[in-house]
Amino acid sequence: MLGRVWALGAMSGTSLDGVDAALIETDGAEIHAFGRNGYRPYTPAEREVIRAALGQWPGDDGVEAAAEVVETVHAELLSDFTEAELVGFHGQTLAHEPQGRGTHQAGSGDVLAEVLGRPVVWDFRSSDVKLGGQGAPLAPYFHHALARWIGAEQPLVFLNLGGVGNLTWVDPSVPEPHLPGACLAFDTGPANAPINDLMQARRGLDCDDGGALAATGVVDQTIIDDFLMQGYFFKMPPKSLDRNDFHGLLDRVSTLGDADAAATLTAAAAASVIRGAEHFPRPPAKLLVTGGGRLNATLMAMLSAGLGCPVEPVESVGLNGDMLEAQAFAYLAVRVARGLPTSGPSTTGVAAQVGGGQISRPDNASLLSVRSAL
């Protein structure tokens, strides 16, 4: 068996709330232990710098400033995890056009490797996109490992409700994540991003805390019906989205009051998932929700009403819903270092198994222990 490595993963998601960091012990195949974690919220000023660069590509206005914020905040948080032997750094997605200009995550692994003094695995998506894949979602192979970690015996679904929703249908009876029938993954549609943008614009708040405002509103079903007629929902998975692909939703609710607008955007997020469930190979025993959306009681209630299986936060099986994505990139970093695939035909639509990512190593650090472990 390959040796175990304590890897540190970091994630800055499309909700633009901040940076998560989490340690796991893994050999790149199995999860052996979970370690400590941390969180660094973006300040309002930092968040606005990143928001101003959304949709931008390398060399465009605002990108360099956004990358500096991303690198600085990550370095501040990750430098506290001195026990980490390897770091998985996702960066901040600014633009994602897998069938167009590619994918763009702000932040340099070279910079972080020098600051942290240890190897950093980064740029996880580019290889997949260059080979014809969607480049997203990237957590499915980790979800497969999680299903086996919790001892699941029947198919289940991991649903991540961040800025964009994505899910993985997992069959834990298949021993490896890249084998046929193990995983099916795709982005479902908008999740928290439109709701958060609405709350920021209308009330100066970061989110609809607990779905409280949406719970008092009335869903505009005409908007939902029109929303579900968009071409994305008729594509077969795997498929992926950019944060702003459904930005027009905000325009559609612009004439609604705050509560009705929040209720309608929340219903759109739920309807996206419910429509996506039509693609499951077999009905799952349960659907486990991670990401900020699991804290939105109104959204969770809508999902429970529309799906034919139990809908529970991942905490119900002993996992940490705030840190799953950060843990995923720790796991993927070890897979990259060991030459194992990180995506495949059933998760991103790429033609063959792909091991994404590049590894940056600091010039001034002693890496003997890490090299021997890897």
| C-beta of residue 92 within 8 angstroms of C-beta of residue 124 | no
Q: Which two tokens stand for residue 329?
A: 């990139």
Burial of 365 (0-12, 13-18, 19+ CB in 10 A): middle
Structural tokens at position 17: 């709330």
Q: Check pLDDT > 70 for residue 88.
A: yes
Q: How far apart are CA 179 and CA 115, in angstroms?
A: 38
Structure tokens at 313: 């936060």
Q: Which two tokens stand for residue 177?
A: 């994540």
pLDDT tens sequence across 147-203: 999 999 999 999 999 889 999 999 999 999 999 999 999 999 999 999 999 999 999
> Is the pLDDT reported for residue 272 higher than 90?
yes
The answer to whether the beta carbons of residues 219 and 264 sit under 8 Å apart is: yes
Residues near 224 by beta carbon (within 8 Å), at least 6 away in sequence: 264, 267, 268, 271
pLDDT at 2: 55
Find out whether 131 and 352 touch, Cβ atoms under 8 Å. Answer: yes
pLDDT confidence of residue 190: 94
- Of 71-75, 131-135, 269-273, least confident by mean pLDDT is 131-135
pLDDT computed for residue 216 by the predictor: 98
The tokens describing 218, both together, are 């009335």
Stretch 131-149: mean pLDDT, rounded?
A: 95
Catalogue the E-assigned strands of 156-215.
Answer: 156-161, 164-170, 183-190
Coil, strand or helix: which one is 151?
coil
What mean pLDDT is predicted for residues 58-85?
Answer: 97
pLDDT for 316-328, tens place per residue?
A: 999 999 999 999 9
Q: At residue 245, does pLDDT exceed 90? A: no
Predicted confidence (pLDDT) at residue 210 exceeds the cutoff of 70: yes
Q: Taking residues 11-28, report their average pLDDT.
A: 93
Chain segment 346-371, per-residue pLDDT in tens = 999 999 999 989 999 998 544 433 43
* Structure tokens, 5: 């490595």
Domains by residue range for the chain, with CATH = 5-134+355-373 (3.30.420.40), 151-317 (3.30.420.40)
